[in-house]
Amino acid sequence: MSEIKLVFTGSAGAGKTTAISTISEIPVINTDVRSNDFTTHLIRQSIDTSRKETITVAMDYGELTLDDGQKLRIYGTPGQQRFDYMWKILIKGALGLIILVDNAGDDPVGDLARYLDNFREFIKETSAVVGITRMDLSPEPNLEIYHEYMQSHGIRLPIYSVDARSRDSVVMLIHALVAMLEYG
């Protein structure tokens, strides 16, 4: 196989860059810049004092060396819709996709729907997992709502509530993804 690559995508500020940093063994190469996004700031400020200062405009990149010396390359996409051209570039040749959704966003279920739709072809060919982040800040919608959404749309993918800052959470997501790629 030419390249071993996983991609993190998902809604703005869901924790893609954070998640990649928890498992990468090199300092994550990121292209975050200071955010001017006024609306995002205001929303975040109201629920979260540790408001996010930066956003990814091109990609994140991390690495993990496997036991046989091969490198697992981990890419993160920008979250904001206006950077969607990067999604197509980054997803090429990936083994699987991890979608993170910020539960404290305006319309998290809608966000999930959009990402599932954006990557529909890729998911059909391979697989994906969904991680709902920041549930501690905003417990609603709860997982049941997502289950219902996925069931009613015939989407059969693993979904977890996760904290992108926790390595265990991120490993759990990748574990489910690998299981889907192998058996799903």
Partner 1 sequence: MLAPQLITKLDQRLAKLLEDCSVINAAVVTTADGHMCAMRQGNQDYPLERLATMGSTLMSLGDTITAELKMGTCDNIISENKQGIVAFMHINNNLVLVTLTVQKNALGMLLSHSRRCAEEMAQFV
Partner 2 sequence: MDYQITTRALDKTNNVFFKSMLQLIQNQLTQKWSYEESAHIILVDLEQPDGIEFWISKPRDVFLIAYARQNFYHAEWFLQKPLRIQPLLQLLNSLAMLQPAQLLINSPPITANQCPPPPKPSSVASVPAAALPSVPSLFSKAMSGTSEGKNKYCLDNKLEYFEPSIYLLGLLQESLVAARPRRFSCLGSAPLYILPYENRCFSAVTKMQQLDSLQENLYSSYAKNIKVVNLTPEELLAEVQKNALRAYPMDTALWLATLRCSHGRLILGQAPDSVIRLKYWPNFVVLPHDTVHVGLAAFMLKNTANLITIAQKTHTTLETVVDFFNSCKMIELTIEEPASESRLVDKKIAEPKRRTLKDILNRLLR
Q: Please choose which of ligand GTP, partner 2, Mg ion, none residue 137 contacts, taking the beta carbon within 5 to 8 angstroms, the exact cut-off set by kind.
A: ligand GTP
Q: Please choose which of partner 1, Mg ion, ligand GTP, none residue 29 contacts, taking the beta carbon within 5 to 8 angstroms, the exact cut-off set by kind.
A: partner 1
Least CB distance to Mg ion at residue 1 (A): 27
Per the DSSP assignment, residues forming a β-bridge with 6 are: 74, 96
Cα-Cα-Cα-Cα dihedral of 68, 177, 98, 123, to 10°? 110
- Please tell me whether residue 109 binds partner 2 under the rule CB under 8 A: no
- Name the site residues for partner 1 (rule: CB under 8 A): 29-38, 55, 57-58, 78, 80, 82-83, 85-86
- Name the site residues for ligand GTP (rule: CB under 6 A): 12-18, 52, 55-56, 78-79, 133-134, 136-137, 163-165
Among 72, 91, 128, 164, binds partner 2 (CB under 8 A): 72
Peptide bond into 139 cis (omega under 30): no
Contact 48, 88 (CB under 8 A): no
- Other CB atoms within a 10 A radius of the CB of residue 86 amount to 20
Structure tokens at 150: 């996925």
